[in-house]
Chains A and B, each alone.
Chain A
Amino acid sequence: GAVVSQHPSWVICKSGTSVKIECRSLDFQATTMFWYRQFPKQSLMLMATSNEGSKATYEQGVEKDKFLINHASLTLSTLTVTSAHPEDSSFYICSAEREHFPGSYNEQFFGPGTRLTVL
């Protein structure tokens, strides 16, 4: 199966600092990647859709200036949490979409997640 990695797996930072999380598709190219946020014992909430070579599409209520997304290559998308605050503490999960063939079902492969704790 396809593999998606995230780095770092966990990070602790001070309030006011910025944190960058990387999402990589290791054995396939992904034009589209997704960033999710998961609160404890809750579901995944889609934050934004990351498109290679263009601006990300953010879901309603997600601040694009706070959560900067860069999809610079077909295998890498980054999420930067700027000026992090304790309420940004969460589990961030990315997924990468692999197209089987044009017009077919595109499966999303999920990374292992990054736990962010802001003190």
Chain B
Amino acid sequence: GEDVEQSLFLSVREGDSSVINCTYTDSSSTYLYWYKQEPGAGLQLLTYIFSNMDMKQDQRLTVLLNKKDKHLSLRIADTQTGDSAIYFCAESPYSSASKIIFGSGTRLSIRP
């Protein structure tokens, strides 16, 4: 079956890098995503990576994909207070590219 797992909490100091990790079980995933959810709000797509890529960088965000280990990570450089949110890892299975399976979300908190 399809399952996406990630740790529930992460606390980092302002200005440091944040690394949020995720593992998934579906080896046929087509796309893998990182979404951000701020309190009481919907989801914002931060970035996505196609399954044949190893890395994608977009300004302060770096996504690393290890297909062999089915491991996805999101690195946020120079973490700011505005980065406080819940970050969801998600994947689309090959069998249904429109369907998105979400992880449980990692709550990122920033220390001054």
Contact = CB atoms under 8 A, between A and B. Distances in A.
Contacts of A95: 43
Given A43-B88, A97-B98, A105-B31, A110 B105 contact: no
A109 B44 CA distance: 8
Interface of A: 4, 6, 32, 34, 41-46, 49, 93, 95, 97, 105-113, 115
A31 to B, nearest CB: 10
**Shortest 10 CB-CB distances between A and B: which pairs?**
A110-B43, A110-B42, A112-B42, A43-B102, A43-B104, A44-B102, A113-B42, A111-B42, A112-B41, A93-B42
B105 A113 contact: no
B98 A106 contact: yes
B102 A49 contact: no
B interface residue count range (under 10 / 10 to 19 / 20 to 34 / 35 or more) = 20 to 34
Nearest to B35: A110
A26 to B, nearest CB: 13
B103 A43 contact: yes
A49 B99 contact: yes
Nearest to A36: B102
B48 to A, nearest CB: 8
A85 to B, nearest CB: 23
14 contacts: A6-B42, A32-B98, A42-B105, A43-B88, A45-B102, A46-B99, A46-B101, A49-B99, A97-B98, A105-B31, A106-B98, A107-B45, A111-B42, A112-B41
A90 B101 CA distance: 19
Interface string B91-111: 000000111111111000000
A97 to B, nearest CB: 6
Interface in B55-112: 88, 97-105
